Amino acid sequence: MIERYTRPEMGAVWSEAARWEAALRVEIAVAQAQAKRGDIPAAAAQAIATRGKVNLPRIAELEATLDHDTLAFVNAVAESIGAEGRYLHFGLTSSDVIDTALALQLRAASDLILTELDALIVVIIRRAREERDTVMAGRTHSVHAEPMTLGAKLAGWAFEAARDRERLATAADEVATGKISGPVGTYSQISPQIEREALAALKLRVDPVSTQVVQRDRHAALVAAIAITGGTLERFATEIRNLQHSEIDELREPFRAGQAGSSAMPQKRNPVKSERIAGFARLLRGYAAVAMENQALWHERDMSHSSAERIILPDATTLLHYALVSMRGIIDKMEVNRDAMRRNLDAGFGLHAASRLLTALINAGAAREAAYTLVQRASSAAREKRISLYQVAVATPEIADALSAEALTAALDERAAIANCGLLVDRLKEIERAG
């Protein structure tokens, strides 16, 4: 991933040095398990653990000749160990090391993602409670529907993010799986006990039947969970972008002093961070498709997944991590224009009460179809005459005769629509109780 969208802590996980350091951790864990069982001398395992070093220039130099990066790594590390280096990579195949090291990197990357997702959820919950009673128009098909509160909207966001966290945590736990089972995974040169001990030392799961690689359904599940989370962030971003329309102006991305919105138009204040997140989400969905393509490897393995994974796994985790940090900043400092919310709701001529007026007429004994037609006509008249639904209703004999003045006023009171929005915000305690 380009540096522009890479946070330093995630960039460190996917650096070339980190990749080979993870591979060395695997080699050391295997050597120590082998020495414990007497398969290699204890002195060799000690030398591998203490003298083994990752030398990136030497690995690159050897790879230029060998055209095999894992063998170049093994040979370079063996050189740093000395004579005992002949026991490095003893009985292993490349995928034992590479797939298990990848599991370590994916676990580290997932931990960073989950930490940022937790922080985002905390911010959304805080803002939902702050805006618990902020009344705004609820919209369907981009058209006013019924009133709601911004707190209720944000509460929905928090629960969606919490579901994303559960999916990601499950996938991250599953992808933290290694294999030390040798060529085609049959333990022909290494025992299952060594695999169990080495992976236990690395705190990784054991792939029960690995073939020569760890099965890629796990990786596909993680990237799919990442893409779904990206879709969640895109939903939040799209809503912010929509509500920042000049004609709506209910929410605004934070805009710091000195920031510019346009090179030509000084007045511009654009939702660029939300737009950026929407772009990221498109990439993440593409990465998920590639991860699923990687599942169908030939026989016990091929290498068609390798080149793709070198791109999609660092990129997907890095982009989501960056997007989570960005979205947290947006929501944390997001400006709420309550005056515009009130103005926009009032500009709807009270039509948001049409459904409650329909219910009141039915409760008063009207047939549903007749009541629906009556309220629909009254709504159209209010819109065309640019007067309130209340004014039309009291002037319509079929409505005024069916409902008392008190019943009509109650039906059209927006407070009835938002009475339970606070309960939705209260449900955020469920997320907090779940930890």
Sign of CA dihedral 340, 343, 346, 349: negative
d(Cα 104, Cα 179) in Å, to the nearest integer? 12
Q: Is 379 known to be catalytic?
A: no
Q: Residues with Cβ < 8 Å from 239, sequence gap 6 or more? A: 153, 251
Structure tokens at 234: 């895109």
Out of 188, 262, 380, 404, the active site residue is 262
Nearest in space to 284 (alpha carbons), one of 327, 325, 234: 234
Residue with tokens 């359904």: 217
d(Cα 350, Cα 352) in Å, to the nearest integer? 5
Strand partners, 384: none
Structure tokens at 189: 């040169």
d(Cα 390, Cα 357) in Å, to the nearest integer? 10
Q: Any idea how long the chain is?
A: 435
d(Cα 404, Cα 314) in Å, to the nearest integer? 66
d(Cα 371, Cα 368) in Å, to the nearest integer? 5
Q: Is 181 known to be catalytic?
A: no
Inter-residue contact 348 to 139 (CB < 8 Å):
no
* Backbone region of residue 382 per phi and psi (left: phi > 0; alpha: psi in -120 to 50; beta: other values): alpha
Residue with tokens 């039309």: 392
Share of the chain residues as helix, strand and coil, in percent rounded to the nearest 5: 70, 5, 25
Point out the residues that are catalytic: 141, 262
